[in-house]
Amino acid sequence: MPCQDIVFLTEDASHDAAINLINAEAFGPGRFVRAAERVREQGPHDRSLSFVGSDRGEIIASVRMTPVFAGPTEAYLLGPLAVRPSHKNLGIGRELVRIALAAAHTTSSKAVLLIGDAPYYMPLGFARTRPGALQMPGPFDPKRMLAACHGDADPMRLEGIIRHRNCG
């Protein structure tokens, strides 16, 4: 099944149960102890920049965007990104990332951050940040911190604590 058969929609509250199932399948209970989850617990994600993939009415993939500060820089934290096992390796996750990045570029934020695999995300516009320059509430591998920047932002110049924008 090609990716073009999937319909991509802006997330709404009716998708929550399906998204929770997809994330549980993809990441298991360990997802709740990750540093990125500590940031997400600080406040809500932005539904207008979060998207789902639907196959014949079934939600089969999701990406969320959480508004954060990276030090003084307005940014978004991308994730979790997850696709049901039945629909993996079809380009659905990559398309969700492209859609979310395009949406983020229409806002005042300067960067989209994530902790992830560089070989997967770098072709989608992400670059490495300076290891140790960004901190999160919890341990993470700083070599896996990536950023897609626009405007005058530069991934190597981002520094400070990543926190939800609700936390000031």
Q: Which of 15-29, 49-63, 97-111 has the lowest mean pLDDT?
A: 15-29
* Beta strands in the chain, from DSSP E residues, in sequence order: 7-10, 51-55, 58-70, 73-83, 111-115, 127-128, 134-135, 145-149, 160-164
Q: Work out the percent of the chain whose per-residue pLDDT is above 90.
A: 79
The model's pLDDT over 119-131, given as tens digits with 9 standing for 90+, comes to: 999 999 999 999 9
Q: List the domains of the chain with CATH numbers.
A: 3-167 (3.40.630.30)
CA dist 60 and 64 (Å) reads: 14
pLDDT of the residue at 34:
73
Position 74 confidence tier, pLDDT thresholds 50, 70, 90? very high
d(CA 48, CA 150): 19
Q: Which runs of consecutive H residues, i.e. helices, occur in 8-88?
A: 16-27, 35-40
- Span 86-95, pLDDT tens digits: 999 999 999 9
Q: Is the Cα dihedral 86, 91, 96, 99 positive or negative?
A: negative
Judged by phi (left if over 0) then psi (alpha if -120 to 50, else beta), residue 6 lies in: beta
How confident is the model over 14-40, as pLDDT tens digits?
999 999 899 888 776 655 557 788 888
Separation CA 85–CA 60 (nearest Å): 9
CA 26 to CA 51: how far, in whole Å?
17
